[in-house]
Structure 1
Amino acid sequence: MEERFAGSTEYVAQDNLKQIVNIAMALEKPLLVKGEPGTGKTMLARAVAEALDMPLITWNIKSTTKAQDGLYVYDVVQRLYDSQFGTHGVDDIGRYVKMGKLGEAFTAEEQTVLLIDEIDKADLEFPNDLLWELDQMEFYIPETNETVKAKHRPVVIITSNAEKELPDAFLRRCIFHYIDFPDEEQMRKIIGVHFHQIEETLVDQAMATFYWIRSLPEIEKKPGTSELIDWLRALQIGGVPVEELAARSGGEIPLAGVLLKKDKDLGVLEKHRGRR
């Protein structure tokens, strides 16, 4: 029976997101997920792995990352060092070939979930350099004259913060989904996952402030879901009374530095808070 993703205990997924995950798995195509920070793109891969009981392999992309890094690395320096000291087995090149994250997913003894996180951080050629491997589920190692073929096709989830446009050839090979920022109803469900006990009035007041801050057009880095969760925890730890939070609806917002991480944004908040 084909496994299907229906959400997990730690991840509140909307129906359209669950549907697109299952479509991508059925079509055996990578799922490209976009959305602003705080919409749960990275957490989706963890949730899919948990729900389907598969190991999760995460490839965190940086500006310096090359596609080759994900396939394998040939440690020629270590081999040269070993040859100088007469280490046994130096002629076995395979000893010096280490699989990258994509290689790990291909050679795993069971099906895995492969997360390629923040692909748009790499240079423009990076996605195109992975087309063959993601299409054919194999790659060639010239040093050992070996072709590595996937034992099991991994469930590939790729995230992007839309910092730069991805190549059309790459996009054509993916299933695409944009995760909208949670509305208040969805956010309450997410909060319910993270807090077993929390005052409803505190949630009401905190969410009202949170969405008001997000609505301010001058805010450069809008607070996301993780900032709201952290702020609620901070309010609890700090012992800020619900009544005080409500009373400050037109005044100072307690522990605002948990929500906003830029001096400019805190200045914007200071300018607007008296107008609420």
Structure 2
Amino acid sequence: MTGTDNGDWRLFRGDGAVRRVGFPEAPPWRTFTDEEPGRPSAPRPYLISPRHSDVVNAALHLRRPLLVTGHPGTGKSSLAQAVAHELDLGRVLRWPVNSRSALQDALYRYDAIGRLREANLRPDREGTEPDIGSFVRLGPLGTALVAADRPRVLLVDELDKGDVDLPNDLLTVFEEGEFEIPELARLPEEQARVEVLTDDPGGTVELHRGRVRCREFPVVVITSNGERDFPPAFLRRCVRLDLPDPDEAQLRDIVAAHLGEDALARADGLIQAFLNRRAPGELATDQLLNAVFLRMGGVDLDAEGLLDAVLHRLGGAV
């Protein structure tokens, strides 16, 4: 990072004056590139103990979903990207779960209204009616279950934020590794093979009778913040990995991996401040990285309220 002195690091001054400023270098984890759509970028460094990586390997060998629990900022979601990168499994398929998430949305979506609208417009246009496959798109889970010689990586992020029945809804799909799209299964025999869209940018796949069945079970990484217990039947089908909050030595390793060894000289006081402020689940590791990055750029973190703004609590009232 290009350093600045404490007097000129403030890009915004709140004085109403218009000025054209040069933006400083962004943190490595907030840098965006013009890479080819769908092509995985090099992930942030991911540090994991042999004990925990062995659990990941157990899930890979057993072809079972990996249920990753831990406080925010312990690297749960990043684990999926690290596995995809190291095993050269391509772009991670992501399903961010919320209270409105339903299993069918993750499997596929059929735009019946769009197809009807297109059919109504066709009399005024030349050409044939578009195929039904143009209105069917596989979701992230559906795309992960497409038959392929190598598995895809699917991240089911924050499953505990979903409906209480969602884990049970996943059981059949996880056990059978397949599902059917009824809108395609009902088509006449001459339309048995239909090309549909996938969750990959520009991706398509041909389905027969609307059936999607994996050849290799996907690498499924399910994250949870521990906000809710899951049914025993669901837990039985998962391999569980609990990621602890990093200790001081691990925090130093993380800072060095992301910002270089030179950052450690500027990080000691911040690491101690982070540890002193941290209660379980109330600070995330990337907040420490943010603070170190700012200090390396010459930002005065002793300015009133600035360190509190960067190392703010994640839980409780704001």
Fold agreement, TM-score > 0.5: yes
Compute the RMSD of aligned alpha carbons.
2.6
How far apart are the structure 2 equivalents of 1:40 and 1:128? 26
Contact 1:235–1:255 (Cα < 8 Å) also in 2: no
What residue number does 1:10 align with? 45
Equivalent of 1:104 in 118, 143, 158:
143
What residue number does 2:27 align with? none
What residue number does 2:182 align with? 142
Equivalent of 1:130 in 170, 178, 190:
170
| Map 1:182-197 → 2, pairs under 5 A | 182-197=246-261
How far apart are the structure 2 equivalents of 1:263 and 1:168? 28
The answer to whether residue 70 in structure 2 is matched with residue 35 in structure 1 is: yes
What residue number does 2:101 align with? 65
How far apart are the structure 1 equivalents of 2:215 and 2:287? 40
How far apart are the structure 2 equivalents of 1:222 and 1:264? 9
What residue number does 1:45 align with? 80
- Deviation per residue, 1:105-126 (Å, 9 max, x gap): 1226442111111111110111
Structure having greater relative contact order (Cα 8 Å, sep ≥ 6) = 2
The residue identity in structure 1 corresponding to 2:141 is L
What residue number does 2:22 align with? none
The answer for unaligned runs of 5 or more in structure 2 is 1-42, 186-209
The answer to whether residue 309 in structure 2 is matched with residue 257 in structure 1 is: yes
The answer to whether residue 132 in structure 2 is matched with residue 93 in structure 1 is: yes
Contact 2:282–2:313 (Cα < 8 Å) also in 1: no
TM-score, with structure 1 as normaliser: 0.81
TM-score, with structure 2 as normaliser: 0.71
Contact 2:282–2:314 (Cα < 8 Å) also in 1: no
The answer to whether residue 296 in structure 2 is matched with residue 236 in structure 1 is: yes
What residue number does 1:226 align with? 286
How far apart are the structure 2 equivalents of 1:227 and 1:67? 33
How far apart are the structure 2 equivalents of 1:82 and 1:253? 56
The residue identity in structure 2 corresponding to 1:257 is A
Equivalent of 2:223 in 125, 135, 159:
159
- Deviation per residue, 1:71-119 (Å, 9 max, x gap): 0111101111011112755484333211010111122644211111111
Q: Identity of paired residues, percent?
A: 38
The answer to whether residue 113 in structure 2 is matched with residue 77 in structure 1 is: yes
What residue number does 1:3 align with? none
Q: How many residues align?
A: 247
How far apart are the structure 2 equivalents of 1:152 and 1:137? 9
Contact 1:234–1:255 (Cα < 8 Å) also in 2: no
Contact 1:79–1:90 (Cα < 8 Å) also in 2: no
How far apart are the structure 1 equivalents of 2:151 and 2:62? 16
- Deviation per residue, 1:211-232 (Å, 9 max, x gap): 00114x8xxx621101000011
SS at match of 1:21: helix
Q: What's the CA shift for 1:262?
A: 6.9
SS at match of 1:144: helix
Shift in alpha-carbon separation, 1:133–1:199, aligned structure 2, 3 A: closer
The answer for unaligned runs of 5 or more in structure 1 is 1-7, 267-276
Q: What's the CA shift for 1:261?
A: 5.0
Q: What's the CA shift for 1:29?
A: 0.3
How far apart are the structure 1 equivalents of 2:317 and 2:153? 37
How far apart are the structure 2 equivalents of 1:101 and 1:133? 13
Q: What's the CA shift for 1:165?
A: 1.4
Shift in alpha-carbon separation, 1:141–1:231, aligned structure 2, 3 A: same
Contact 2:283–2:314 (Cα < 8 Å) also in 1: no
